[in-house]
Chain A
Amino acid sequence: MAENAITTKELVKKENLVYQKTKLLTDDVMHYCPGCGHGTTHRLIAEIVEEMGIQSEIIGVAPVGCSVLMYNYMNFDMQEAAHGRAPAVATGIKRLLPEKYVFTYQGDGDLAAIGTGETIHACNRGENITMIFINNGIYGMTGGQMAPTTLIGMKSSTTPYGREVSLAGNPLNMTDLIVNLPGTYFVSRQSVHTPGNVRKAKKAIKKAFEYQSLNKGTCFVEVVSNCPAGWKMTPVESNKWLAENMLPFYPLGDLKVPEE
């Protein structure tokens, strides 16, 4: 058949392009481990900013943790915050520059451990910021120690026999706490372990950015992610482990949606 004669070389043309890396990510190679969900989430944020056309109107606040170097990869304004203090810094930026879009990007060691106070109070005050929370149940950057979000029985370098409630307490489900606060406007929990979930996560994060312009309150999106290096698994295994173990405790879906 003549149609099948099209070679890959002939197909690779600008007019046939359906997907390419967004220009809002810089050409720097991300320092994340192979298969890490941080890279996917960074790309989703950059794609959303490009689609909304708000490159010059957005300010991101980077956390301390694996994503501490986020400002190297984003082709828009970023501000670094002290460990756990991203919501406080974002509050200041948003109050001084209310016309800008402001978001925080934090991991679970940052948002759910040292920054619990800032997180809860920013959400309770209803600051008009968007918060992206990457939950992989472990302190990835410092060597896989137990985080507040580590599941019961989950192994980490400080709980080598699995987390025990009698010794280390219960895992903290931040998003379920935050959903009860009156200041939040949109709360959602998503994951990035399959292409379908990545598409859903993108929709949720986009909503969280769009609702910010309404000035109705904090928009909070938790992204359940993997940590292949910290969990001591291959990236593919870690995504399967995530689906089997993380998702029953952190079920996906929109927890709080605005009334139409």
Chain B
Amino acid sequence: MAKIKGAIVVDIDGCKGCGLCIEACPVEVISLSDNVNVKGYHYSYMTDPDACTGCSNCAIICPDGIITVYRIKI
């Protein structure tokens, strides 16, 4: 069976740490970082790259449009 692997790239300094992407992710691969970005927000990042399916839910819900999604069939 073909497997789908995805990845997200977060524009760290654009992130406001609202956490909507974490709620929207069906496979729970996104978390808020312990570190803060240039504006002082805890930014979101991909904790478990192997589980990401590239469904784009996080990018679609992101109010600031800072998530870029990549997907490949392997």
Contact = CB atoms under 8 A, between A and B. Distances in A.
B65 A198 contact: no
Given A12-B7, A12-B70, A195-B24, A34 B65 contact: no
B2 to A, nearest CB: 9
B72 A19 contact: no
Binding site secondary structure of chain B:
mixed
Contacts of A34: 16-18, 41, 63
Given A6-B72, A12-B70, A199-B60, A235 B65 contact: no
A194 B68 CA distance: 18
A184 to B, nearest CB: 28
B63 A37 contact: yes
Q: Which size class do A's interface residues fall under?
A: 35 or more
B31 interface: no
Contacts of B18: 34-35, 228, 234-236
B40 to A, nearest CB: 11
Residue of B18, B68, B69 with most chain A CB atoms under a 10 A cut-off: B18
A124 interface: no
Nearest to B64: A39
Q: Which size class do B's interface residues fall under?
A: 35 or more
Interface of B: 3, 5-7, 9, 14, 16-20, 22-24, 41, 46, 49-50, 54, 56-57, 59-72, 74
Given A18-B54, A19-B69, A236-B22, 18 more contacts: A3-B74, A6-B5, A6-B72, A8-B46, A18-B69, A18-B70, A19-B68, A20-B68, A20-B69, A21-B65, A30-B63, A34-B16, A35-B16, A40-B63, A195-B56, A198-B60, A228-B18, A236-B23
Interface of A: 3-4, 6-8, 11-13, 16-22, 25, 29-30, 32-40, 43, 192, 194-195, 198-199, 228, 234-236, 239
